[in-house]
Amino acid sequence: MSERVVFERVRALDPITRVDDVRDIAVADGVIAAEAPRDAERVDGTGLVLAPGLVDLHTHLREPGDEHKETVATGTRAAAAGGYTAVAAMANTDPPADNAAIVQAVRDLAAAAGSCDVFPVGAITRGLEGAALAEMGEMVEAGVRVFSDDGRSVPTARLLRNALMYAKAFPVEIVLAEHAEDASLIEGGQMHEGARSASLGLAGRPAEAEEVIVARDLAVARACGGRLHLCHLSSARAVELVRRAKADGVRVTAEVTPHHLVGTDDDLVAYDTMKKMNPPLRTAEDRAALRAGLADGTIDAIATDHAPHAVEEKDLEFDLAPPGTIGLETALAVVLTHLVEPGVVSLMRAIEALTSAPARILGAADHGGPLEHGRPANLVVFDPAGEWTVEAPFASKARNSAFLGERLRGRVRFTMLRGTFTVANGKPTR
């Protein structure tokens, strides 16, 4: 049941209208209300920030197939705890989301959980095998707007071109999201290839693996006019390639993760498997380029690449442990602590990259703002000064966080999905 509530004297940030002011925000009947209902609950918003609910372009919910890592219910609960009202569920489940039946099953599980809207991402190729295109048409009819073989790149330029051309034929905008790593250059790689990998005796995954695919994909998108999105950029040269492509009019967007904006390959000196991910953490120079790209809009959105694993899977030797970190519950605080407070990006730009920009890419029209009367009350309210330590237990089923033990600032106090609290006073309600 939707709430009747007024957040009084709250700092309201609207990334679409660019309005940043202190005011009362009323919610009633699932929407932002023009006037406060007489029987509304009053919440003191002094010192708090209210913004559109966060939107994640890149979440691994693991269901179906890997429910020992995460489920749709636990993953969306983690999303709500982190201030998210919508997430894109990646297609590399078991079986993969390469047909409308799997897409609908994931959507039904999310609806039953009720914590967060889930927008299933469809596979580009059947079975994620990189051979034949999946049944994109039936998935578009089922509401899918983003397709990806995340975890691997589309293997050939020809297949990518066919997918982009096919996507253009639909009456709605369809986005192809690429995991940009050349498989032939990363085989056996455990971390970024460079001086640090050599000193640690670990096989490397070179930045060139990303740059080769980014350059290829941009060239194909330029030639056919298709709509391309690049997942989790990690290298400086890839950022520059995207910057030039945008200047040339290529229809491309890009995302970056909080962990790539914060960490470097130097963080792996202790062989910490929590900091092992694909693409890998790279150099300080790469990190600086990612931050600059986010600040100037070359990189559109911040995405978590939330990748839960079971405890026993991460508690292995570095070369045996799977890559990935959870991120839904820490993303906002990491961005506030490491990017906003030091002045790398403004709070408005950070909120834009976490809300309106990913909502636009995902086609999630009810999310990402603006904060206008009559709009669905998909909202987050957070305390930018609230300090906390990243530690288990999490709302997620997993605990493989790259930020374990770190002291962060920025605590989610309330999350609302269509006017219903999914988080109240800092605690998930479901």
| pLDDT tens string 221-253 | 999 999 999 999 999 999 999 999 999 999 999
Beta-bridged to residue 255, according to DSSP, are 301
Cα 383 to Cα 316: distance, rounded to the nearest angstrom = 37
Residue-by-residue pLDDT tens, the chain, 430 positions: 689 999 999 999 999 999 999 999 999 999 999 998 889 999 999 999 999 999 999 999 999 999 999 999 999 999 999 999 999 999 999 999 999 999 999 999 999 999 999 999 999 999 999 999 999 999 999 999 999 998 999 999 999 999 999 999 999 999 999 999 999 999 999 999 999 999 999 999 999 999 999 999 999 999 999 999 999 999 999 999 999 999 999 999 999 999 999 999 999 999 999 999 999 999 999 999 999 999 999 999 999 999 999 999 999 999 999 999 999 999 999 999 999 999 999 999 999 999 999 999 999 999 999 999 999 999 999 999 999 999 999 999 999 999 999 999 999 999 999 999 999 999 999 9
Catalytic residue among 39, 296, 305, 366: 305
Residue 312: exposure state from Cβ atoms within 10 A (0-12, 13-18, ≥19): exposed
What is the fold of 52-362? Answer: TIM Barrel (3.20.20)
Residue 113: exposure state from Cβ atoms within 10 A (0-12, 13-18, ≥19): buried
In this structure, which long-range contacts are made by residues 99-106, counting pairs with CB atoms below 8 Å and at least 24 apart in sequence? Answer: 99/134, 99/135, 99/138, 99/139, 100/135, 100/138, 100/139, 100/141, 100/142, 102/64, 103/139, 103/142, 103/143, 103/144, 104/142, 105/64, 106/61, 106/63, 106/64, 106/72
Give the HSE-up count for residue 233: Cα atoms under 13 Å, Cβ half-sphere.
34
297-333 pLDDT, tens per residue? 999 999 999 999 999 999 999 999 999 999 999 999 9
CA dihedral 304, 306, 307, 311 (to 10 degrees): 120
In this structure, which long-range contacts are made by residues 365-369, counting pairs with CB atoms below 8 Å and at least 24 apart in sequence? Answer: 366/117, 366/418, 367/52, 367/53, 367/55, 367/85, 367/86, 367/117, 368/15, 368/16, 368/52, 368/53, 368/55, 369/14, 369/15, 369/16, 369/17, 369/51, 369/52
**Neighbouring residues of 179: CB distance < 8 A, sequence distance ≥ 6:** 148, 149, 150, 151, 152, 153, 231, 232
CA dihedral 93, 97, 98, 104 (to 10 degrees): 160
Residue labelled with tokens 């051309």: 165
Residue labelled with tokens 């469809």: 122
305 is catalytic: yes
Amino acid identity, position 388: W
Residue 144 corresponds to which tokens in the numbers above? 């899918």
Residue labelled with tokens 């372009």: 57
Cα 296 to Cα 398: distance, rounded to the nearest angstrom = 34
The secondary structure element, H or E, covering residue 13 is strand 5-13
- 3-state secondary structure at position 3: coil
Cα 11 to Cα 290: distance, rounded to the nearest angstrom = 29
**Neighbouring residues of 315: CB distance < 8 A, sequence distance ≥ 6:** 273, 321
> In the chain, what are the domain boundaries?
5-48+379-428, 52-362
- 3-state secondary structure at position 235: coil
CA dihedral 381, 19, 358, 85 (to 10 degrees): 20
Domain 5-48+379-428 top-level CATH class = mainly beta
State the pTM of this model: 0.97
Residue 87 corresponds to which tokens in the numbers above? 């997430």
Residue labelled with tokens 């890592």: 69
Residue 130 per-residue DSSP state? S
* The three-state (H, E, C) secondary structure of 352-417, written as one string: HHHCHHHHHHHCCCCCCCCCCCCCECCEEEEEEEEEEECCCCCCCCCCCECCCCCEEEEEEEEEEE
91-121 pLDDT, tens per residue? 999 999 999 999 999 999 999 999 999 999 9
Ramachandran angles phi, psi of 363, nearest 5°: 75, 30
- 3-state secondary structure at position 128: helix
